[in-house]
Amino acid sequence: MKITVKITGIDHVGIAVPDLDAAIAFHTGVLGGRLAHREENHDQGVVEAMIAYDGGAQVQLLAPLTPESAIGKFIDRSGPGLQQLAYRVPDAAEATAAVLAAGLRVLYAEPRRGTAGSKINFIHPKDTGGVLVELVEPAAATQATAAHGGPDGVASTRSAVSGETMTA
């Protein structure tokens, strides 16, 4: 039987930014988003902020902690802008296995820690038509809320491991 990645939705779109506070000010002040979560992730070399919009859309602002990090290299090569498309999956380990079974490159053998206690992995952009695809298994509390379909429940119930989750 053919194994496929079970995508349940778009979790977020990631934007590489050189200055996180300036980007938060634009996305909240001009675009009307809400700062739902902010976290430093040293494994990924980023400080990130999740911006949530009414209706459930989420944008992740990603600023580099070092020039050698993935986001530092991206900004150096391509400038600030869209860096990743993150799909939500129920099980990141299962999704990783499905990608490998399709003969594509995942970046990590096992999922790693992402925003707010999520588990994440990535498919190499050269194997997806030029888009860095992230696979996100949200933390359990978020997963349950998403299944019950609250309009902005995804962002407001994120449970932070080493970050700060804001509620409206």
Q: Which residue is nearest to ligand V0V (CB)?
A: 114
Determine if 73 is a binding residue for ligand V0V (CB under 6 A): yes
Helix (H, G, I), strand (E, B) or coil at 36: strand
- Residues 126 and 90: their CA atoms lie apart, in Å, by 24
- Sole residue written with tokens 């400038």: 79
Determine if 87 is a binding residue for ligand V0V (CB under 6 A): no
The single residue among 72, 111, 114, 117 that binds ligand V0V, judged by CB under 6 A, is 114
- Residues 68 and 91: their CA atoms lie apart, in Å, by 30
Q: Name beta bridge partners: 59.
A: 13, 51
Determine if 142 is a binding residue for ligand V0V (CB under 6 A): no
The single residue among 52, 62, 99, 133 that binds ligand V0V, judged by CB under 6 A, is 62
Strands 119-123 and 112-113, sheet pairing: antiparallel
Determine if 15 is a binding residue for ligand V0V (CB under 6 A): no
Determine if 166 is a binding residue for ligand V0V (CB under 6 A): no
Where does this chain touch ligand V0V (CB under 6 A) — which range of 24-32, 125-133, 143-151, 160-168? 125-133
Site residues (CB under 6 A) for ligand V0V, limited to 29-58? 41, 44, 46, 48
Provide the sign of the torsion angle of the four alpha carbons 62, 70, 66, 92, taken in this order.
positive
The kind and range of the H/E element at 120 are strand 119-123
Least distance in Å: CB of 2 to ligand V0V? Answer: 26
